[in-house]
Amino acid sequence: MTVASDTDFIVVETAGHVATVRLDRPEKLNAVTQQMSDALVRIVHALNDDPGIRAVVYTGTGRAFSAGSDISTLDQYATPWEFRNRRDYCDALRELRKPVIAAVNGYAYGGGLEAALTCDIRLAADTARFAAPEITLGWIGGGGMSALLANSIGASNAALMLMTGDPIDAHRALGWGLVSEVIAADALLDRAQELAATIASRPPIAAETAKANLRAAWNLPQDQAIAYERELQGITFATEDAAEGRAAFTEKRAGVFRGR
């Protein structure tokens, strides 16, 4: 199956088992319109349905990862209720079952920060900046900003960002645990794709299950999270890939994993 974009503002490229999804509206700092959000929903469904894709890199073109929603289009919603019920790009990313790496190449503001937080792993260019500026416009984020930010950097640091709207640079983001690595801008995408290829080389059922298990661990009490993990371990242990992994270990060779 070939995963393609049906909008000029999102580019999908595949190499091996890795898909790179790139926002391509640099003149607007990759601000997302409703049409782009709808297209991302379709792209995510296609990625989920493609067994050849095992990991995803999500990034932007130019000097921005994403400035979030295109504010100039928000008045197109007839009512706040219609705005509340729109198909949201962060919700789309949350539906992605494959491991996803955010390659934050520049500004990650508002919904762009939420999108990065929704990804499983975040790598940042040394030029990246992060902000939750909605408060300066009279509202707050709605794509998981508070919960994801507090989980990532702690309540006090999250409050600092949410209540001032001021940006932080990549090195502070690294110190706070918002990102895993800070990389020279010209090496960022290569590093993200290299990491995605490493993840894609792992047994895909185990990789997707690890993602689902980690998400559950954020939401369950500890005893329930451990019990849930044990059940998922039993399921993955019964797969053909797990049997191949044990055989490859015994025979001292690389495993060949088929997602079965």
- Domains of the chain are 10-200 (3.90.226.10), 204-251 (1.10.12)
pLDDT at 72: 72
> Could you give the CA distance from residue 234 to residue 257 in angstroms, rounded to a whole number?
18
* CA pair distance 91, 51, nearest whole angstrom: 22
Q: Is 139 helix (H, G, I), strand (E, B) or coil?
A: coil
pLDDT digits (tens, 9 = 90+) for 93-142: 999 999 999 999 999 999 999 999 999 999 999 999 999 999 999 988 88
Which of 68, 17, 12 is CA-nearest to residue 43? Answer: 12
Confidence band for 78, pLDDT divided at 50, 70 and 90:
low
Residue showing tokens 């469904």: 45
Output helix, strand, coil percentages for the chain, rounded to the nearest 5. Answer: 50, 15, 30
pLDDT at site 2: 62
Query: What pLDDT, on the 0 to 100 scale, is given for residue 142?
Result: 85
Pairing of strands 121-125, 107-109: unpaired
Report the pLDDT value the prediction gives residue 44, as an integer from 0 to 100.
97
For residue 77, what pLDDT is reported?
65
Residues recognised as catalytic: 114, 134
Q: Which pLDDT tens digit goes with each residue over 185-213?
A: 999 999 999 999 999 999 999 999 999 99
